[in-house]
Amino acid sequence: MSTTYSISDLARELDITTRAIRFYEEQGLLAPERRGQERIYSARDKVSLKLILRGKRIGFSLAECRELIELYDPTSGNHVQLNSMLAKIAERREQLEQQLLDIEQMKLELDTAEERCTQALAQTMAQVGH
């Protein structure tokens, strides 16, 4: 028999809320079995959930997480999924590098604006003093 999990098992094990798990289910990212009102999650659902959480931490969209989940195929060693993930990681890294450059540029702009304000304030104070 394969391992199964209740929603509270997954929430506790992965340190997330049951509400978050239900949200991912509503988004079509998880597909638990139903026994009456009870959700029964498979080992595959657990892997998908881990992938979603990791994806979120590194800035992937839910659509990107969905793509990766759809590529999950342990019978093939997940080569397609892993290559796709590597491409998405490289893309995300490029975005972050650009954001870092943008932040550095913004800091320079702030420094310049601050310096001009400080000089203008000093001139105003000097004029008032005379």
Q: For 16-37, write each residue's pLDDT tens digit.
A: 999 999 999 999 999 999 989 8
- Partners of 35 in the beta sheet? 38
Q: What is the pLDDT of residue 68?
A: 86
Query: In which domain, by residue range, is 4 found?
Result: 1-59
Sign of CA dihedral 59, 62, 64, 68: positive
- Indicate if 1 and 55 belong to the same structural domain: yes
Give the pLDDT mean for 72-82. Answer: 81
Q: What is the pLDDT of residue 130?
A: 61
Class of residue 59 by CB neighbours under 10 A (exposed 0-12, middle 13-18, buried 19+): middle
The answer as to whether 96 is a domain residue is yes
- Indicate if 2 and 39 belong to the same structural domain: yes
- Indicate if 47 and 86 belong to the same structural domain: no
Determine the Cα–Cα distance for residues 107 and 8; give it in Å rounded to an integer: 45
* CATH classification at residue 18: 1.10.1660.10
- Indicate if 2 and 43 belong to the same structural domain: yes
Mark which of 32, 59, 86 sits at the end of a domain.
59
- Indicate if 55 and 89 belong to the same structural domain: no
Among residues 76, 25, 71, the alpha carbon closest in space to that of 46 is found at 25
The answer as to whether 53 is a domain residue is yes
Q: Determine if the pTM surpasses 0.85.
A: no
Reduced to 3 states (helix: H, G, I; strand: E, B; else coil), residue 22 is helix
- Indicate if 50 and 81 belong to the same structural domain: no
Q: Give, for 47, the enclosing helix (H) or strand (E).
A: helix 43-57
Give the pLDDT mean for 60-87. Answer: 86
